[in-house]
Amino acid sequence: MKWNVLALCMAVVLIVTMLPTQVLTKAETIGGKVEIKPISYDIGENAFNYQITTSEENAYIAYYVYNRNEYNYTRDELFSLAKETTEQKNRQVEVKVSGKESETLYVALISAEGDLICSQEYDSTFDDRLFADDAENIEYVNGTLDDVSAEAKNGKIIVKDSSNQSGSGTIYIYGCFGTSRWHQSEDCSFTNGEAQADISNQIRESGDHVVKYFIVKNGVVTTKVNTVTYNYTKPTAKLDPINISTVKWEKGILTIPGVDKNSQLMGKRIEARIYRSNDKEQWSGSNNSCITSIGNYTYSMDLNHEIKDYKYYKAGLVVKSDDIDNYLNSDEVFTDIYDTTSSSEEVDNTLKDVLTQAGVDSVDKADADTLNKIYNEADETKKAEIAKALRDGLKETDTATLRTAMQTNSDTRATVEAIEKMSGITVANDVSEDVKAYIDTANIKVLGAALNADDGVSNVGLKITKEADVATLDSKYKNAIPLGITLTNVSTAASGLAVPVTITIPVPRGIDISKLVILHMNADGTVNENFSNGNGYSYDLNSRTITFTVTHFSTFIFAEADDTSTTPENPTTPENPTTPANPTTPGSSVTNPTTTAEPAQSQATETDNTASATAEVVTSSPKTGDNGSMAVIWVLFAGCAITAFCYAKKRVRR
């Protein structure tokens, strides 16, 4: 009897143990010793309330909140900061952490002796947290939420919220299919509470694609995370590609011809993406792309801002489907390769020629070392002749060719710097006081400015002033800082420089580098060039500066944009085109994986890379292995229960 009772008790324990318990969220653990659980999300403040718990004896929890964009702490530094700032040594704490981009909660378990037991850095970026597997039961507080529903079809997700209001907003989207995951946000116009986002780039194979989504309006989350399933059947039909033989790709200028009004391509969207290589074998595609509509006019886009640091470039073009349920995008076709090494060779040949004309013995290469040697060995009169000849040689070089060489070849940049020093013309920064509130002026550098100086001038100034806000600026750009940047004593600064100028400037305070775009404006307020990271400017993590090259000066707007895709520059259109003169695609930002924009009220900052995780730091993605110890207990209970039952039966038979 007692064995039956024992078996029954153990079975009951087993059943109770396996029953799901109601918790606010699943919890992440650090080495099974510390539990981190998001309890609630404050809508108005865009912040999460976390509960951190440990059952370890003779240990306490320390934590430190920081933003990875502002500080690049080592783990040792984080441990010291957490230890110093944690006043009470408790085994359970609650902490409120902002949901802005890259806001991070560092948690450490510390022994009574003050030693580190384990630690973790926990990303609190609002959309990552809300989309996480452990977020289903997070309580939303301090705000009102709309009901929302959605359907997915034709390569789009169409949402409808209960506000029935019109206006602008953003749909945040997270999708999964098998082991594939993707993350996207798209700025949309809502009509009576309805809007749609294009997700066709993410839907590639037949099957059920699970898509999570929520809405942000006026910088505030307005709906909970909901889920819709896109049951997709991949069609066999696809659009015809553009005739690539008619497309021109010369010196960074992509020119797409118009089509006949009866063409299948009329009105279709075409996506152009730049690919880079140093060996013509391994190609990397740009994260950004240009999308325009095909009309009966020639469309040209200047993509020289994407020509940087690599030798070879080509453009890939895809005709985009408006309904992937019935027909697919066209195959991607590629232009001929643009070999930028020819640009630096052309500059080098020009400088060798001018040296010969100046009476200098021929040289194999007109690099910086060679030019400095020739210059330093010459007498004072000859130095002046050499400096003038080299400066004139640069000014006579095709500006687009010289710009490409400066952007892609460090030897060319060194050569330009050497010639600039020979000119004897000084360059000084002239920065207004109101600009100094945004920029550390000590780290501003300029290359090429002196070579554009007017005749008879001994100094040039890089003048930077704060400009008035641009009223016509697209609403997708946030935290915009318009700066007037020009050169004094250079009469061609606005109309066109003979020698391109490279500017290095700190990221303006309050701007998130992960979303930074630089809009180079025309005098009429339209955008002349749109620079993004790796596609127009480069970012140096150590100095926290950005570098870009221009051929004229005007207003430059430093701003954040969730959509950093490139807009075609300087399109050539007839006076009365049959399609809109400036067709574009709705702003969207897609990566795999990515982090996206936080609600607008959160302060934006610069972005750095965090240190890679080691055994001490456990990543913050959801883990299925965290319940391994409980699974072992279940197995043990089940084994014991079965053994007890069998033994009890055996005794009865006896």
Mean pLDDT of 59-72: 88
If we measure between CA atoms, which residue out of 228, 242, 172 comes closest to residue 597? 172
Q: Read off the pLDDT band of 649 (50, 70, 90).
A: very low
- The yes-or-no verdict on residue 309 having pLDDT over 50 is yes
Spans of all domains in the chain: 27-125+605-621, 142-232, 244-339, 425-566
Q: CB count, 10 Å around CB of 552?
A: 19
Q: pLDDT tens-digit profile of 330-352?
A: 999 999 999 999 999 999 999 99
Q: What pLDDT score does 243 carry?
A: 94
Q: Which range is least confidently modeled, 266-270, 364-368, 551-555, 569-573? A: 569-573
CATH domain 244-339 topology: Immunoglobulin-like (2.60.40)
Measured distance CA(90)–CA(107) in Å, rounded: 13
Measured distance CA(164)–CA(160) in Å, rounded: 8
For residue 15, CA distances in Å to 10, 26, 633 come to 9, 20, 12
Q: Which amino acid is at 634?
A: W
CATH architecture type of domain 27-125+605-621: Sandwich (2.60)
150-154 contacts: CB < 8 A, separation 24 or more? 150/211, 150/213, 150/226, 150/228, 151/228, 152/199, 152/209, 152/211, 152/228, 152/229, 152/230, 153/230, 153/325, 154/322, 154/323, 154/324, 154/325, 154/326
Q: Which amino acid is at 545?
A: T
Q: Which range is least confidently modeled, 58-62, 505-509, 648-652? A: 648-652
Quick one: which H or E segment has residue 349?
helix 341-357
The top-level CATH class assigned to 425-566 is mainly beta
Mean pLDDT of 138-165: 95
Q: pLDDT tens-digit profile of 81-123?
A: 999 999 899 999 999 999 988 899 999 999 999 999 999 999 9
Which single residue is written with the structure tokens 């659980």? 37
Q: Read off the pLDDT band of 529 (50, 70, 90).
A: confident
Q: pLDDT tens-digit profile of 277-294?
A: 999 999 999 877 888 889
Q: What are phi and psi of 129, to 5 degrees?
A: -65, -45
The top-level CATH class assigned to 142-232 is mainly beta
Q: What pLDDT score does 616 carry?
A: 30
Whether the full predicted model's pTM is greater than 0.95, yes or no, is no
Which single residue is written with the structure tokens 């040289």? 363
If we measure between CA atoms, which residue out of 301, 198, 195 comes closest to residue 590? 198
* Phi-psi group of 352: left, alpha or beta (phi > 0 → left; psi -120 to 50 → alpha; rest → beta): alpha
Mean pLDDT of 393-417: 92
Q: What pLDDT score does 638 carry?
A: 53
Measured distance CA(469)–CA(585) in Å, rounded: 25
Measured distance CA(210)–CA(233) in Å, rounded: 14
Measured distance CA(423)–CA(583) in Å, rounded: 46
Q: Determine the distance from the C-alpha atom of residue 32 to the mean position of all C-alpha atoms in its chain, rounded to a whole number.
A: 34
Contact 378, 358 (CB under 8 A): no
Measured distance CA(493)–CA(555) in Å, rounded: 12
